[in-house]
Amino acid sequence: MTTVVFYVSGHGFGHSSRQSEVIRSLLARCPDLEVIVRTSAPAWLFENGLGDQVRVDALNTDTGVIQVDSLTVDVDASISSAWAFHERLDEFTIAEALRLKACHAALVIGDIPPLAFGAAARAGIPSAAIGNFTWDWIYEGYPVEVARVPALLPLLRDTYREAVVAWRLPLHAGFEIFRHVVDVPLVARCSTRNPDEVRHLLDLPSDAPLVLFTFGRYGLPRINWSTVAQLTGYHVVLATSESQLDQTTSYPGGPFVRVNTAVMEHHGLRYEDLVAAVEVVIAKPGYGIIAECAANDTAMLYTSRGRFREYKLLTDGMPELIRSEFIAHDELFRGSWQVHIDTLLAQPPRPRPDVKGADVIADGLLEML
């Protein structure tokens, strides 16, 4: 059996969501592959829909950026953590190279921790990068902080150069360092379920547009839900687990609709099915949610991500892909959403972009194998 190993950044959910699609496409073409994922992201991001075809091993592959919450980056801590991790990169790549040899890996894929390519090079195994940005490019956006650790960026770039090929996704930057770059379409989780069926299974109302409030791994606790409760003409959907409580329970007559993630799992529904079943998502702009909105014709109300270099890259490219509207932090937190949602849904639809990137990459990976 041929083994491929994916190293996936645990920063947010976007890296994992797109690699789950690449893995799904790869296994559809070659079901007898053994796929191992090494990541600090939650295992369920890969296990949901892939089951026992994938083994997920917990590993800190990089440090990404340190988030106070979904909209606030601790820049000093981010650069300090990045250096504390990567100054030991040589040690980590030696250990990972031994693991790659022990499992007889034939190919390594990274999205997009330098560790993946350093370990593959030490093990004498080809590696491929997949992403829309590189971590050296992100950190370069913090010149004052990164100047305190001048060896960080050269170290990351030297390690990235070990990759045989880099598949560059739309909304990209920072790929000049790779030896060979191939542009591919969006990798996106596309719903295969009828939106009406999804609404029925989840008992979602059909008398008004649905607005999904979603802020991913890091959450957002500062919303004035009493103001949101006054929203008219829309239902606000909150996806929660049984263990989570939210402040909206104080407003039983409000527009709030709760979707239990255990119920979704029971019906075989994935998160992209929920995205496709609503008209709007309220989120921070990230590659994963933008791609899912583009794939499923869902509009996005978005806010600033703070000092994160990818933000402008994403927001500059969004208008061609999805209907989008900006909301300032103070209005978002205050719950003053009405006029922004009205304006957003008045926009004309966008042409559906090419979202077959996972298939293109899977074909390329099989060629490498």
Task: Please state, in angstroms and rounded to a whole number, the distance separating the CA atoms of residues 93 and 222.
Answer: 40
Question: For residue 1, what pLDDT band results from cuts at 50, 70 and 90?
Answer: confident
Question: For residue 211, what pLDDT band results from cuts at 50, 70 and 90?
Answer: very high
* Mean pLDDT, all residues of the chain: 94
pLDDT of residue 242: 47
260 CB burial (10 A radius; 0-12, 13-18, 19+): middle
With 50 as the cut, is the pLDDT of residue 243 above it?
no
pLDDT of residue 154: 98
Query: In this structure, how many other beta carbons lie within 10 angstroms of the beta carbon of residue 103?
Result: 14
With 80 as the cut, is the pLDDT of residue 42 above it?
yes
Question: For residue 254, what pLDDT band results from cuts at 50, 70 and 90?
Answer: confident
Domains and their CATH numbers in the chain: 3-186+356-368 (3.40.50.2000), 195-345 (3.40.50.2000)
pLDDT of residue 317: 97
- Which are the contacts of 225, defined by CB distance < 8 A and separation ≥ 6? 246, 247, 248, 250, 251, 254, 256, 335
With 90 as the cut, is the pLDDT of residue 217 above it?
no
Question: For residue 244, what pLDDT band results from cuts at 50, 70 and 90?
Answer: very low
Which stretches of the chain are DSSP H helices? 14-29, 44-47, 75-86, 89-102, 114-123, 135-140, 143-146, 152-160, 195-201, 225-228, 261-266, 271-277, 287-296, 310-321, 329-334, 338-345, 357-368
Q: What is the mean pLDDT of residues 315-338?
A: 97
Q: What is the mean pLDDT of residues 334-343?
A: 97
Chain Cα centroid distance, residue 297? 18
Task: Please state, in angstroms and rounded to a whole number, the distance separating the CA atoms of residues 127 and 104.
Answer: 14
pLDDT of residue 12: 82
Q: What is the mean pLDDT of residues 10-34?
A: 94
127 CB burial (10 A radius; 0-12, 13-18, 19+): buried
Lowest mean pLDDT among 61-70, 160-169, 228-237, 336-345: 61-70
Find the farthest-apart pair of alpha carbons in the chain and give their distance in angstroms, rounded.
62
pLDDT of residue 240: 75
pLDDT of residue 6: 98
Question: For residue 250, what pLDDT band results from cuts at 50, 70 and 90?
Answer: low
Q: What is the mean pLDDT of residues 252-257?
A: 84
Q: What is the mean pLDDT of residues 306-324?
A: 95
pLDDT of residue 333: 93
pLDDT of residue 216: 66
Q: What is the mean pLDDT of residues 36-45?
A: 94
Using the 8-state DSSP alphabet, how is residue 187 labeled? B
Q: Which two tokens stand for residue 102?
A: 């022990």
Question: For residue 249, what pLDDT band results from cuts at 50, 70 and 90?
Answer: low
Helix 75-86 and helix 152-160: axis angle, to 10°? Answer: 60
Percent of the chain with pLDDT over 90: 85
pLDDT of residue 284: 93
